[in-house]
Chains A and B, each alone.
Chain A
């Protein structure tokens, strides 16, 4: 019996020793650095969460405490969720994000296929132009687009909210790189078998592009869900307001209700957090593929 009892601590000890065996100074330092980095990343979220429970007066208290002295959480969240049409805002965000994504995919996939696999005069110039367009920030084009939308009387419509993002140069470039490695012989076999070019894209390329498209979708969705800049410019009415934009309503010249703003921020972030938990792999792939941090 004693023989049977003694081994467990020994095993436990061995495990502990094994765990500490790799523990070099370098590893300890690395872990500490990573831990600090993680804290730095998480802190704004913690602060947001904490502030969303506080009354405005307490948000800017010198000594930071996670749990508020006066609990205003219920009031803040009630104001955000009930006193305004919050579901409407969420729906608007969803419509805009899905609309943008759909058109981006529809335009980017054929364009990328053409740039990657078709031989035509000027294809290199086209590709160069596409890459050059990557460097143009939206702030440059927003004024002419805004003026155009005003002239057409399209301000404050879903169309106006989506329009500048319909063609994603980044998506074209990403998919082109992806298609470039697709074997030519399969495409040629398809041509011999009688596929039309459109059918090659739909039946062969599209199934192959699913991983890249998923990654890009996550990227695009997050980017436009969080976008504040463009909705702020073109949205005028409550009915078209996106969830992110709705946070701005608590600001007025005389009074800024920071507690409520933070509560709204928490709720706006929540859907993306949930998506992240479920589609973490696609998120990570999207970010590594794009090389841009969302």
Chain B
């Protein structure tokens, strides 16, 4: 149980500045994901938290105590590596016991033959063994304790790595893309297990991933990094529904968010020649980006009953991905083919649905789902309203 506070962390390797002033607060018992494309500095940040790397400037506090100078061991953090980093010549039991052996036995007592010379040695060893067995039981790897890492499957190795981290009761649990070496199905399974582990242990987790799905499904909060800067920190739903910038909006969510360049004109918003009946508080002539999530767009069927949405776009179909329960339709604006649109449509019970999407169709754009970004990519918090609403 610990609170982690990072203040203004910077780090450079040679001439490249990898971290450009990161300040972040991780609450006690929280599951925080550091997410971003590769090379954004998330792993470096994790290594700085663990003590394997030292920051150039800035301050790291665990429970209010500065640990900038402390060795990794003294920070009592556990780190799970992407390739698991198990000790290859040791059994699973030895692997898991290592942090305790190193932590509880003094240096001289770890020498071979020391058991005959040091008092309490056997009792400490026994405690360690029972702790290892208890954690192994918890992770359902008790039957593997005698094996070597080479004789384990990827998922089992992953569990051993988790066990080795867990056995020492760390104050912080750090994970560096621990699922990226597993196959897709196992990944989902272990993902759930890690969430379960977090819930049961109540420890503070910091989880690094480049996979936004992992970040979204596992975390209490997500911190998104790009080029060494924090773009946004917040609950997964916040990053998805209320992104602070175009970069966040694009990274979070799959299929990717739709972005359309527009210009404010007298009668609404000009989208490549088509004026949409939408109103914003932006001055006339401003260049903006309209963002909308793929599932917010609606297929408008010709001749369908009910009121038509005020804003519709006519698009041409490019391709349709059938995901089983839903369809992802890739399309482009009819009058501006370089502006692509992605739609996520519930398939319903009609098995022939992919064939039902016509080659040219209309898409309804609900105003409430629209997000407005400035030309610099930053979010503009003004709501987008339909003109008719403004008139009323």
Residue from A189, A194, A196, A199 in contact with B81 in the complex, judged by beta carbons closer than 8 Å: A189
Within 8 A of A (CB), among B272-314: none
CB pair A190–B87 under 8 Å, yes or no, is yes
A188-B110 contact in complex given A193-B99, A194-B102, C-beta closer than 8 Å? no
Type the 1/0 row for A197-212, where 1 means its CB is closer than 8 Å to any CB of B: 0010001100110000
Chain B 93-129 interface 0/1 with A at a Cβ cutoff of 8 Å (1 = within): 0000011001100010010000000000000000000
Range for the number of chain B residues in contact with chain A? 20 to 34
> Do the beta carbons of B73 and A185 come within 8 Å of each other?
no
State which of B78, B85, B87 has its C-beta within 8 Å of the C-beta of A188: B85
A-B contact count (CB 8 A): 57
How far apart are the CA atoms of A199 and B103 in the complex, in Å?
A: 13
Contacting residues, chain B, for A204 (C-beta < 8 A): 87, 89
Asked if A291 is an interface residue, CB under 8 A from chain B, the answer is: no
Asked if A192 and B110 make an inter-chain contact with CB atoms under 8 angstroms apart, the answer reads no
Q: How far is A204 from B98 in the complex, measured between Cα atoms in Å?
A: 12
Question: How far does the Cβ of B387 sit from chain A's closest Cβ, in whole Å?
Answer: 58
Residues of chain B with a CB closer than 8 A to A199's CB: 102, 110
Q: Which residues 57-83 of B sit at the A interface, judged by CB distance below 8 A?
A: 71-73, 77-79, 81-83
Chain A residues whose CB sits within 8 angstroms of the CB of B73 once the complex forms: 191-194
CB neighbours of A195 from chain B (8 A): 98, 102
Say yes or no for B52: interface residue by CB 8 A criterion: yes
> What B residues does A131 contact at CB under 8 A?
none
Q: How far is the CA of A203 from the CA of B102 in the complex (A)?
A: 12
Interface bin, chain A? 10 to 19
**Additional A-B contacts beyond A192-B77, A193-B102, A199-B110 (11; CB < 8 A):** A183-B83, A185-B81, A186-B86, A188-B52, A189-B79, A192-B50, A192-B79, A193-B73, A194-B73, A194-B103, A199-B102
Could you jot down 14 A-B contacts, CB within 8 Å? Answer: A183-B85, A185-B81, A186-B86, A186-B88, A189-B81, A189-B85, A189-B86, A189-B87, A192-B77, A192-B78, A192-B79, A194-B72, A204-B89, A207-B89
Closest 8 CB pairs of A and B: A194-B102, A194-B73, A189-B85, A185-B85, A207-B89, A193-B99, A192-B72, A185-B81
B interface residues (Cβ-Cβ under 8 A, vs A): 50-52, 71-73, 77-79, 81-83, 85-89, 98-99, 102-103, 107, 110, 164, 168
- Which residues of A come within 8 Å of B, CB atoms? 183, 185-186, 188-196, 199, 203-204, 207-208
